[in-house]
Structure 1
Amino acid sequence: MMFRFPHGLSTRGTHHGMTPNRPLAVVTDGSSGIGFELARQLAARGFDLIVTAEDHDRLQEAAARIRAEGAQVETAVADLRRFEEAERFYTATRVMSRPVAVAALNAGGGHGGAFLETDLLDELEIVDLNVRATVHLANRFLCDMVYEGEGRVLMASPPAPATPGPFQAVYDASRSFLRSFARALRAELRGTGVSVTALTPGPAGSTSVHRVGTDGVRLGRQGEDDPARMTEQCLDALFSDEDETAAGPAKAEAQQLVG
Structure 2
Amino acid sequence: MANKFAIVTGASTGIGFELATIAAKDGYDILVVADEALIADAARDFDQFGTQVRSVEADLSTTEGVDALLAAANGRQIDLLCANAGRGLGHAFLEQDLADWRKVVDTNITGTLYLLQTVLKPMVARNEGKVLVTGSIAGYIPGSYQAVYNATKSFVDFFTDALRNEIKDSDGVTLTTLKPGPVDTEFFERGDMLDTEVGQSESKRDPALVAKDGWDALMAGKASIFSGWSTKVQGMLANVMPASVLAEQHRKMAEPKGDD
TM-score in terms of structure 2 length: 0.83
* Partner in structure 1 of residue 192 of structure 2: 213
Instruction: Name the counterpart of 1:244.
Output: 224
Aligned to 1:185: 163
Q: How does 1:5-16 map to 2 (within 5 A)?
A: none
Per-residue deviation at 1:127? 0.4
Give the deviation of 1:178 after TM superposition: 0.4
Q: What amino acid maps onto 1:189 in structure 2?
A: I
Classify 1:219/1:145 alpha carbon distance in 2 versus 1 (closer, same or farther; 3 Å). Answer: farther
SS at match of 1:113: coil
The amino acid across from 1:79 in the alignment is D
Q: CA deviation at 1:92?
A: 1.9
Taking structure 1 as reference, are residues 249 and 203 closer, same or farther at Cα in structure 2, changes over 3 Å only? farther
Q: Name whichever of 216-225 and 58-67 sits farther off.
A: 216-225
| Contact 2:182/2:205, CA 8 A, preserved across alignment | yes
Alignment correspondent of 2:248? none
1:25 is matched with: 6
Percent identity (aligned): 35
Deviation at 1:71, TM superposition (A): 2.7
- Unaligned residue ranges in structure 1 (runs of 5+): 1-19
Q: Deviations over 1:74-109 (max 9, x none)?
A: 11110111221212212222x1x3311110000001
Question: SS of the residue aligned with 1:74?
Answer: strand
Q: What's the TM-score, normalizing by structure 1?
A: 0.83
The alpha-carbon deviation at position 121 of structure 1 amounts to 1.4
Consecutive unaligned residues in structure 2, runs of 5 or more = 238-260
Q: Distance in 2 between matches of 1:210 and 1:246?
A: 23
Which residue, out of 208, 211, 228, partners 1:228? 208
> 1:210 and 1:135, CA in 2 relative to 1: closer, same or farther beyond 3 A?
farther
Task: Name the residue aligned to 1:150.
Answer: 128
Match of 1:157, as an amino acid? G
| Residues 144 and 218 of structure 1: CA distance in aligned 2, closer, same or farther (over 3 Å) | farther
**By how many angstroms is 1:115 displaced?**
1.1
Q: Which residue of 2 aligns with 1:73?
A: 53
Distance 1:39 1:68 in 2: 12
Count matched residues: 236
Match of 2:114 among 136, 148, 151: 136
Q: CA deviation at 1:255?
A: 9.2
Q: What is residue 176 of structure 1 aligned with on the other side?
A: 154
RMSD: 2.5
Q: Which has the higher helix share?
A: 2
SS in 2 for 1:59: helix
